[in-house]
């Protein structure tokens, strides 16, 4: 009887210690074991809007968040999904120390227009056609 009691007492006391080896230590990079693929992000986002297309997924500068570049109805944007894929954040991510709007910076990169791809064949040219700097103005006659 004493042997059985001793066995269960030792097992009960050592059980928490054995669990501690199953989890990573503090300070580990959780994004090494967590992944988010485009199809997973699409499935999560389709619950909110059927027209959302996932363009790209990156690690956010904020820990434990994925930065997901999306396009919906011709407009590009950003949303953030946490590592366990339980929360969605849509809005500006601001760095407190530098007071930088990180979301706005990334949106500027995503929505950057390649000026060389704008067709100028039928453009109205004012000034020197071969000028070093060009200004392109869009106007809607309607």
Domain ranges of the chain: 28-112
In whole angstroms, give the CA distance from residue 27 to residue 33.
13
The per-residue pLDDT for 2 is 65
Torsional class of 12: left (φ above 0), alpha (ψ -120 to 50), beta (otherwise): alpha
Q: DSSP string spanning 25-48?
A: PTT--GGGT----HHHHHHHHHTT
Does the pTM surpass 0.75? The reply is no
Residue length of the chain? 142
CATH superfamily of domain region 28-112: Disulphide bond isomerase, DsbC/G, N-terminal (3.10.450.70)
pLDDT in tens, 88-132: 989 999 999 999 999 999 998 888 888 888 888 888 888 888 888
Selected residue with higher pLDDT from 27 and 131: 131
By DSSP bridging, strand 75-82 and strand 94-95 are unpaired
Asked if 103 contacts 76 with a C-beta cutoff of 8 angstroms, the reply is no
Q: Which residue has the higher pLDDT, 48 or 2?
A: 48
What DSSP state is assigned to residue 64?
T
Q: Name the DSSP class of 122.
A: T
Task: Give 47-75 pLDDT, tens digit per residue.
Answer: 888 889 999 999 988 888 999 999 998 89
Q: Check: CB of residue 70 under 8 Å from CB of residue 54.
A: yes
């Amino acid at each position: 009887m004493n042997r059985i009691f001793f066995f269960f007492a030792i097992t009960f006391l050592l059980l928490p210690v054995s669990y501690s080896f199953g989890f990573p230590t503090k300070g580990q990079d959780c994004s090494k074991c967590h992944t988010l693929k485009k199809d997973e992000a699409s499935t999560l986002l389709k619950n909110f809007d059927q027209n959302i297309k996932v363009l790209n997924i990156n690690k956010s500068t904020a820990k434990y968040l994925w930065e997901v570049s999306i396009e919906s109805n011709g407009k590009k944007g950003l949303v953030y999904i946490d590592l366990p894929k339980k929360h969605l954040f849509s809005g500006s991510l601001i760095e407190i120390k530098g007071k930088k709007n990180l979301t706005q910076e990334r949106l500027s990169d995503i929505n950057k227009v390649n000026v060389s791809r704008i067709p100028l064949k039928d453009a109205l040219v004012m000034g020197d056609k071969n000028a070093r700097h060009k200004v392109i103005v869009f106007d809607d006659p309607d």
